[in-house]
Amino acid sequence: MLAQEGYLNSLVSYAYPIVCRDYFPPYWDELLRIHLAGLPSSNDAIQSVESPQIESHLTTYTDPHEVTAKLKHMNTLPRVIIDSGAFTAWTSGKPINPKDYAKWALDFDSRWRHKMHSLEFMSLDVIGDQDASWQNQSILEGLGMNPLPIVTYGVDLKHLDRALANYDYIALGGLVPLTRDKVKMQKWLDACFSRVMQYKKETGIMRRIHLLGVTTDWVLKRYPCFSSDSSSWVSCLRFGCAASAGIKQIPRYKESSGAMAATIHTLRSEIRKYKKMQDEATNLWTKRGIIFND
């Protein structure tokens, strides 16, 4: 879910009131697309990081008027992915109605797709119940959507096989809780990508895989995913951490002009860090013969 320097990609969340913009030249032939997310649109710090031309945007379905209001001010929107917000619904106990999501998404699609290089929507998955996730997938497709199916951590991998057989672009979810448990994450992703590569061997088709909420260097270099997302690049706004900028701790950006400057410096350092990570993973997988021409 994130906005990157040098790549025109953005993940739009259906459940979070956040907007992330990117303003750098396009690189359409790169393998990996890291999406930066998690930044409030009203944040003064990000406004100072941005350049005049808006290239990507992250916002929310939760406030549909906010979505369109922000997009009206954008010059171009090359690549956009919209998340359904299912994880938020699960954690908050406030379920999302598939019909409401589809109605909004189809209207959004009709008004904005022609202005974008690409527009994708995530399906409405049900955490812990893959069969219910497939039911929502069927409902959304029946209503006219074409969302990315989401296969969540821990389910029988027959569900991934089903997705590989029927969809070009697939998301793997439920990974955020595993970011501090490398053994569990690696074991599951090893099993998943074993299926992905076996499918490629059998059909000659390399499916595009998106990793929800995971943009870790070892993950990107171990698994040939097409895209991933993370909101950790804005941790400085929440926790004041700024290691990527060579600063141990920074104060709240609104406390002083110096704090604002430090925050802007940190955000730019984070963007450079993710761009470097993206480039290195792309080059590595290109050498290994994995290239996506999209």
Q: Which one-letter DSSP state was computed for residue 113?
A: G
Q: Other C-beta atoms within 10 Å of 231: how many?
A: 23
Which strands form 77-83's sheet, in the order they lie side by side? Answer: 11-13, 77-83, 116-121
Weakest mean pLDDT among 5-19, 123-137, 138-152, 166-180: 5-19
Strands 247-249 and 241-242, by their bridges, are antiparallel
Q: Parse the chain into domains and list their residue ranges.
A: 11-287
Strand pairing partners for 230? 36
Which tokens is 28 given? 């359409």
Whether the predicted pLDDT of 79 surpasses 90: no
CB 226 within 8 A of CB 210: yes
Banded model confidence at residue 275, pLDDT cuts 50, 70, 90? confident
| Rounded Cα–Cα distance for residues 229 and 262 (Å) | 24
Whether the predicted pLDDT of 9 surpasses 60: no
Average pLDDT over residues 260-265: 78
| Rounded Cα–Cα distance for residues 169 and 76 (Å) | 23
Q: Rounded to two decimals, what is the model's pTM? A: 0.79
Q: Does domain 11-287 have CATH number 3.40.50?
A: no
Cite the DSSP H helix spans in 51-148: 64-71, 86-92, 98-112, 130-142
Dihedral sign for Cα atoms in the order 179, 212, 3, 45 = negative
Whether the predicted pLDDT of 262 surpasses 70: yes
Closest CA to 1 of 117, 64, 87: 87
Question: pLDDT tens digits, residue range 87-116?
Answer: 776 677 778 889 999 999 999 899 888 878
CB 34 within 8 A of CB 7: yes
Crossing angle between the packed helical segments 130-142 and 98-112, to the nearest 10 degrees: 50
Q: Which residues contact 258 (CB under 8 A, 6 or more apart)?
A: none
| Rounded Cα–Cα distance for residues 275 and 261 (Å) | 21
Whether the predicted pLDDT of 46 surpasses 80: no
Crossing angle between the packed helical segments 158-166 and 130-142, to the nearest 10 degrees: 20
**Confidence (pLDDT) at 37:** 63
